[in-house]
Chains A and B, each alone.
Chain A
Amino acid sequence: DVKVTQSSRYLVKRTGEKVFLECVQDMDHENMFWYRQDPGLGLRLIYFSYDVKMKEKGDIPEGYSVSREKKERFSLILESASTNQTSMYLCASLRRTRHSSYEQYFGPGTRLTVT
């Protein structure tokens, strides 16, 4: 079974703090993603990575950066947290099946509150 873990389920940070969200997958997947989920807006892609040290901006990258030094780990960094970054953050990795079907496996999510 694919397992995607995230470092924290709940996190409370102060405005201006630097925040690190960690995601680890155990299936040697090349593609990993960071989304944020807000009520009524669905899942919005922040950044994704298609290999070690390779990254691409998603739809809402402003205020975020990412790091992928090892294949299994994809980190999301909030350089200076702001209250509008209070949200649920979901990490996912992409599995390709034998039949060329693609499935995203999600971690449990980190609910971040910035005060």
Chain B
Amino acid sequence: GQQVMQIPQYQHVQEGEDFTTYCNSSTTLSNIQWYKQRPGGHPVFLIQLVKSGEVKKQKRLTFQFGEAKKNSSLHITATQTTDVGTYFCAGPTSGTYKYIFGTGTRLKVLA
């Protein structure tokens, strides 16, 4: 079945360093979503990417969708302690609203 993998599973960075998480799907995706879950909280929608090669920015966050629409990345520039949490990517199974979530990358930022 369709699988969505994320690496790394964990990342510890010093405040001010950059951070990147990668998402890889076993199948081509029509779109990909990113969510952030703060410790003790629930996932919160960040963004959706639809087009091949698409790049979107939200302040210090840069999201990319691969040319083949099978991979994506989230890059955070100059991390802050408020960036702490787990970042998930999610892609839909073909023709449905059923989303497969990646395993998540837990980010810790050391002040």
- Which residues of chain A have a CB within 8 Å of any CB of chain B? 31, 33, 35, 40-45, 48, 50, 56, 58-59, 90, 92, 94, 101-109
Contact = CB atoms under 8 A, between A and B. Distances in A.
B31 interface: yes
B9 A43 contact: no
Interface residues of B, number: 24
Given A103-B48, A106-B42, A107-B42, A40 B97 contact: no
A58 B2 CA distance: 12
A42 B104 CA distance: 6
Contact of A106 (B31, B43, B48, B92): B43
Interface of B: 1, 6, 9, 31, 33, 35, 41-45, 48, 50, 88, 90, 92, 97-104
Contact of B88 (A43, A50, A94): A43
Contacts, number: 56
Contact of A109 (B42, B92, B98): B42
A40 to B, nearest CB: 7
A43 B88 CA distance: 9
Nearest to B104: A42
A92 B43 CA distance: 10
Contacts of A101: 48, 50
30 contacts: A31-B97, A40-B103, A42-B103, A43-B43, A43-B88, A43-B90, A44-B101, A45-B99, A45-B101, A48-B97, A48-B98, A56-B98, A59-B1, A59-B100, A90-B43, A92-B43, A101-B48, A101-B50, A102-B31, A102-B48, A103-B45, A103-B48, A104-B35, A104-B45, A105-B45, A106-B42, A106-B43, A106-B44, A107-B42, A108-B42
